[in-house]
Chain A
Amino acid sequence: MGLQEVNVHIERGDFCFLVGHSGSGKSTFIRLLLKEFEPSEGTITVAGRNLQRMKRGSIPHHRRNIGCVFQDFKLLPNKTVADNVAYALRVTGVTPRNIRRKVPEILQLVGLGDKMYSLPDELSAGEQQRVSVARAFVNHPSLLVADEPTGNLDPDTSVGIMQLLYRINRTGTTVLMATHDREMVDKMRKRVIALEDGRVIRDESKGLYR
């Protein structure tokens, strides 16, 4: 879905919701930030870096600075929970010793300290999403984007994930979350950017879903 005339500035350390119907351009917004494809016009700047001027070879490094959480978790099915989280560290060249230290730490933080050696299939949906959040945050990125992270979860489990994202935001990480979850948005009273047919129709701080 295309985006048109979108002009948005998100401050460092903000917590921001991106709301709108399916097909309104939420995912496109997120994928543009990840430089999965190029906008035909305009400029995108993430953490002070202009994505249009970024060389292809720098894209991986750019992505390491953005943690991603998806509705379908996107975990590597053949790897244990610990290896999934470790993968995000490995690609950045973290030494095995540091990996062995950091992975249990972050899994404790998301409440999965006892599931380190389970495979993703053996976990509940909520637990899988926690692994995914752990993987997104283990590099301490400056921006964490979440594309409907609670879309597959029941309300109680969703609350747990939201709490996790909130805690991550409190460490100074900017969080951008695309969602359909009306209740959650209304409860949090954070900035809300509403999209419809690829245009921003509303942008309020401490907004509601509506």
Chain B
Amino acid sequence: MQFRFFFNEAINSLVRNWVMSVAAIVTVLVSMFVLGLGLILFFNFEQAISDLRNKLEIEVFIKNTASPGDISKLGDQIRAMSEVKDVNFVSKDEALKRLKESFKGHEDVLDALSGNPLPPSYEISLKDPSQIETVAQRFFDNPIVDNSPGTHDGVKYGGETSDRLLKVTTYFLVGGAGFVVLLTVASVLLISNTIRLSIFARRREVEIMRLVGATNWFIRWPFVMEGVFTGMLGATGAAFLVILTNVFLIENVKDKMPFLPFSADVPYFWLVLLVVIGGTMLGSVGSGLALRRFLRI
């Protein structure tokens, strides 16, 4: 295959039809950008979820009205359970101290609090994480546990929080996937239209090529490459934007709001690879479509 020749032909055609080329490139860029953002959110939440799962701690919050005697009695009960590895009592003061730590640099936010509304709690870690549900349930009906009426929100354990986070993430992913599918279809059609125009602009040339004995693939390659380049250019732009977004936006948010479970620790290499391969595939599918329909040779 005469790669350099086809390459030059494809580039020439891209430049000659630059308005349509830019339109197609931008569409690919947008759809791959959305895909990339979705992936970044996924990575971030994924990390947060697995962090939570690994923690596997039960936090039992205790009513502010409970007497010190009841509190220490509960502590003894917990320590007596065979599944429990370790128990740690977090007093009201300790809880406030921790909150202040997580807002480090923005302590002024906490000045709005009057007094200390935080309840004391027990942090329980287990020998076997699979027991977490069973153990957590024992506190659901305890009268001194800080449950809102009718719920057991006074007992927090990794399973529950991570499940909720997972649910939210799933919504995001499904919505994002739908959007990406729509944009993908749009990019494929736009690329195919760009290639169609360039085939149309060069139909006389194609006829001449056939007359001098060019094989079908000799005629097709420049058009295929044109599509692939369109996809690749769009995707590369998208990969660049995604990384910029992650660095500037997410890391910024993480700095400002440290309590959000974001980690900017995204595997860039795979992300870029995925986005660029995706864009390139869009390009080849788009040009393939155009070739099938408009270049019957």
- A: residues with CB less than 8 A from B are 34, 57, 60-65, 68, 74-78, 87-88, 90-93, 96, 135
Contacts and interface: CB of A to CB of B under 8 A. Distances in A.
A63 B205 contact: no
Interface in B203-247: 204-205, 207-216, 218
B297 to A, nearest CB: 10
Nearest to A79: B205
Main secondary structure of the interface of B (DSSP, over half): helix
A148 to B, nearest CB: 15
Nearest to B16: A78
A57 B214 CA distance: 11
Contacts of A34: 211
Contacts of B2: 90, 93, 96
A61 B213 contact: yes
A88 B212 contact: yes
A63 B216 CA distance: 13
Contact of A135 (B12, B210, B212, B216): B212
B213 A63 contact: yes
A74 B211 contact: yes
B214 A60 contact: yes
Given A76-B205, A90-B2, A90-B5, A68 B211 contact: yes
30 contacts: A60-B210, A60-B213, A60-B215, A60-B218, A61-B213, A63-B211, A63-B213, A65-B213, A68-B211, A74-B204, A74-B207, A74-B208, A74-B211, A75-B208, A76-B205, A76-B208, A77-B204, A77-B205, A78-B12, A78-B16, A87-B209, A88-B213, A91-B209, A91-B213, A91-B214, A91-B218, A92-B213, A93-B2, A96-B2, A135-B212
Contact of A68 (B212, B214, B215): B212
Nearest to A66: B213
A63 B212 contact: yes
Contacts of A63: 210-213
A-B complex: 8 closest residue pairs judged by Cβ atoms: A64-B213, A63-B213, A91-B214, A60-B215, A88-B212, A60-B213, A74-B208, A76-B205
